[in-house]
Amino acid sequence: MTTGQVDLETCDREPIHLIGAVQPHGALIAVNEESQIIEYASINTGSFLGSAPEELLGKALWHLIGKDNAMQLPNAPLDPSTPELLRPWFIRFAGQNGKLINTECLPHRNNGHIILEFLLPEPTPASIWEDELLRQGIISELVKPGALTELADASAKMIREVTGFDRVMIYKFAEDKHGEVIAEATNRPDSFLGLHYPASDIPDPARRHFALNVMRSIPDINCKSMPIVSRSGAVADAESDNPLDLTYSKLRAVAPVHVEYLRNMGVGASLSISLVTNNELWGLVACHHYDRRLISSSRLRFAELLGGTTSALLQSIENTNQLRKSIKAEKTAFRFEQQARSGTPLRDLIVNQASNLMQLMDAQGLLLSLGGDLIEVGSVPEKKLDFSYLRALLSDGVATTSHLSDVIEMSDAQMQVAAGAALLDLSEDSKDYLVFLRSNFDQTIRWAGKPEKIESRTEDGIARLSPRGSFALWREERRGKSRPFDAIDRDALRILRRALFALNSLERERVALEAQKISEAEEVRLRHALLDAARASSLGELASAIAHELNQPLSAIANYVNACRQEFRNAGVAIPARAEQLINEAVSETTRAGDLVRRVRDFISRGDLNADYIDLNKTIRQGIDLALVASQLPRLQVNLILDHNLPKVWADPVQIGQVVLNLARNSISAMQDSEKQVLTVEAAKTDGFVQVIVRDTGGGIPAKQQKHIFEPFHASTTKGMGIGLSLCRSIIEAHAGRIWSEPSTKGAIMAFQLPIRVEQDEKTG
């Protein structure tokens, strides 16, 4: 047998519920619900009901099963229920030849028909056997396991005990519909545990039937199926005018594709029980026997019960798992928040917790881009990938794919470790993100047995529809893909992302705040430096002013004494030796006093210029800012007219700042009582100089004082000692500049200029 004979594609379109035949281990009739006339019968009714189809078709049902039974039928539960349970109706009636017929009937309603399926009754009473098993507490065994795979294991074992099948497997269907064997109980040496199957192995129509018709028993796959004929005598299959819908039929014949599949595995009999949670096909219990195997209805019912219980438990475990993963994600997030609060940077938190995070997300690699740094943990591609393409898939800040190479172009080597990825957006500007990487799926499968040992019985190579063929195909399908990120993963990712995003925002804010604090501290430091310098140079200027003022009379004294001596000589007067000596001593005392004064001045004031090429704009702004701090003028308006192309000047920023501060202070105090309070500071380049002009709208400088304002101890403002402007002059002159006041009718205009000096680097030699 080769795969060519069956085509899985056509199967997808094939209406398997209109197969028009039953398996031979039972017989089927269908009556019109209203008229109770038998409209369909399988051709094997003779061996189960004692009457051939032609004897039944067109007759009322009671002719077959007797009036009493026929009257009971409408009261029986006929509609499909969820969870669907087998509801056998044990009836007996007299056959055509008067022989008593005992049968187990499974009736159900569908499309205006009541379909009755008849099975051979069990020889022993079923209830005792069931009670026995229940008493043994088998069900309670199922309730114990907390983990999904344990439950599946227990369930598989138990179903094998009850049914006696050679192999019982439990499949789980993933979101992408592909299947995985998560549990197996078998007496065979080989194992299918851990195998994956492509979604196409169970075509969609079959999937629908699995969901609608939970139990599917095929006692002998090699048997000949029994066609169902209608009153016209035609087979009631999809080809006929009025096919019979066998959706809920237990006896429905097996589709050729399914026979093929089972044959390829060498299976002789099969039983499947759908595991349905939330009306969705969660998985399947597949029982295989390598010979024919017909099991009794009671055991079938028990297996069904086990299947139903397993489904319910699976759902609860899965819910728990989901909850558990979410809780774990929440706990991780909470731990992050706690540690972040204690000052650990986010980057360290993530790096320290990387292996936990990867475990939580079933990831093998992790990449963190934070603040311009890229940190890699675990299995990551050697050559960097541009994950920004993943952003197109973002939803709630999380993007996931199990097939990253669909999104990002990559090499085979990269594909191995970055088959799938989840990206967590960690900042508004998309610069910070966390990526979990999942390796190629088949590298992450945890094998129970060796895949090579999987049995496949073929003459010419591996059959497509065999576990190994399927698995090979699945691996092919999965190349470059990772274990998919499912709803549970995505929930956990979102929880994690929400916390990390918030922490990152906080951290960014904190960093910004700290930067601001540092710059503020720097500002304060500068201010202090300026004020300190102001204090120091006021003292220095005081010393210098005193020195200057004292030097004047001292030099006058020396001059007078020297002149006096000369006048005596001119007059021809002989100066007595003693007087000559006294005159000399007087002169040398003035020199000594002058030196002393100079030394005091030098000691206090001679700070060397701490000069550099500076931007005067900045210095002006600082000086003005400082002056404004102390200003108490509510209406003060400050105009800074600066020139950003100002050439740099060689100057000490602190000292020049002090000049600006002094000038601005004078202006501000002069405007105390003015109607209009405008301080204007203008900086501009003039020929060879940078010139700064400070204007105010105060009372101006009286003409009488104009000449002396730069001399020390001529206080025009009443507060200080009157050395402010004198200090300004000293500073500016030490910079080889000039300071002056300009005559003005409105307010005062003070100006200074500093020479522009070309930086020497270029002009050597």
Least distance (Å) from another protein to the CB of residue 650? 7
Q: Closer CB to another protein, residue 312 or residue 546?
A: 546
Query: What is the C-alpha radius of gyration for the chain, rounded to an integer number of angstroms?
Result: 51
253 with 21: CB under 8 angstroms?
A: yes
Q: Closer CB to another protein, residue 349 or residue 547?
A: 547
Work out the number of other CB atoms within 10 angstroms of the CB of residue 207: 16
Burial class (CB within 10 angstroms; exposed 0-12, middle 13-18, buried 19+) of 320: middle
Least distance (Å) from another protein to the CB of residue 493? 58
683 with 616: CB under 8 angstroms?
A: yes
Whole-number Å distance between alpha carbons of 551 and 673 = 39
Q: Closer CB to another protein, residue 446 or residue 763?
A: 763
Beta bridge partners of 172: 180, 283
Q: Closer CB to another protein, residue 60 or residue 734?
A: 734
Nearest to 650 by CA among 738, 732, 755: 755
Q: Closer CB to another protein, residue 326 or residue 551?
A: 551
Instruction: Return residues touching another protein (CB under 8 A).
Output: 544, 547-548, 551-560, 562-567, 570, 587, 590-591, 594, 608-612, 650, 707-708, 710-711, 730, 733-734, 736, 738, 760-761
Buried b (16+ CB within 10 A) or exposed e, 491-515: bbbbbbbbbbbebbeebbeeeeeee
At 731, the amino acid letter reads: I
Whole-number Å distance between alpha carbons of 702 and 748 = 9
Q: Residue 1 contacts by C-beta under 8 Å, 6 or more apart in sequence? A: 260, 263, 264, 463
Nearest to 261 by CA among 498, 605, 42, 3: 3
Q: Residue 639 contacts by C-beta under 8 Å, 6 or more apart in sequence? A: 678, 679, 680, 681
Q: Closer CB to another protein, residue 571 or residue 629?
A: 571
Phi, psi of 95 (to 5 degrees): -80, 180
Least distance (Å) from another protein to the CB of residue 633? 30
408 with 470: CB under 8 angstroms?
A: no
Least distance (Å) from another protein to the CB of residue 717? 19
Whole-number Å distance between alpha carbons of 259 and 240 = 23
Whole-number Å distance between alpha carbons of 595 and 460 = 120
728 with 738: CB under 8 angstroms?
A: no
Least distance (Å) from another protein to the CB of residue 618? 19
Question: How would you list the strands of the sheet with 89-94, edge to edge?
Answer: 21-22, 226-230, 38-42, 26-32, 113-119, 100-110, 89-94
Phi, psi of 408 (to 5 degrees): -120, 135
Task: Provide the sign of the torsion angle of the four alpha carbons 727, 733, 739, 740, taken in this order.
Answer: positive
**Prior bond to 484 cis, omega within 30?**
no
Measured at the CA of 423, the angle between CA 421 and CA 427, to 5 degrees, comes to 165
Least distance (Å) from another protein to the CB of residue 721? 18
Least distance (Å) from another protein to the CB of residue 595? 9
Q: Closer CB to another protein, residue 643 or residue 742?
A: 742
- Per DSSP, helices labelled H in 461-576 are 467-478, 487-570
Q: Name the strand (E) or helix (H) holding 105.
A: strand 100-110
Least distance (Å) from another protein to the CB of residue 596? 11
Least distance (Å) from another protein to the CB of residue 510? 39
Whole-number Å distance between alpha carbons of 176 and 173 = 8
Least distance (Å) from another protein to the CB of residue 526? 20
Least distance (Å) from another protein to the CB of residue 597? 9
How many C-alpha atoms does 120 have within 13 Å on its Cβ side? 10
Q: Closer CB to another protein, residue 345 or residue 755?
A: 755
| DSSP reduced 3-state for 698 | coil
Least distance (Å) from another protein to the CB of residue 736? 5
Q: Closer CB to another protein, residue 559 or residue 672?
A: 559
Q: Closer CB to another protein, residue 344 or residue 552?
A: 552
Least distance (Å) from another protein to the CB of residue 727? 13
Least distance (Å) from another protein to the CB of residue 646? 20
Nearest to 287 by CA among 273, 298, 304, 266: 273
Q: Closer CB to another protein, residue 447 or residue 603?
A: 603
Instruction: Catalogue the E-assigned strands of 336-485.
Output: 365-370, 373-378, 398-401, 420-425, 433-438
Least distance (Å) from another protein to the CB of residue 623? 21
Least distance (Å) from another protein to the CB of residue 580? 14
Listing DSSP states for 247-307 in one string gives TT-SSBPPPHHHHHHHHHTT-SEEEEEEEEETTEEEEEEEEEESS-----HHHHHHHHHHH
Q: Closer CB to another protein, residue 189 or residue 702?
A: 702
Least distance (Å) from another protein to the CB of residue 662? 18
Task: Provide the sign of the torsion angle of the four alpha carbons 385, 388, 389, 394, taken in this order.
Answer: positive
Q: Closer CB to another protein, residue 415 or residue 547?
A: 547
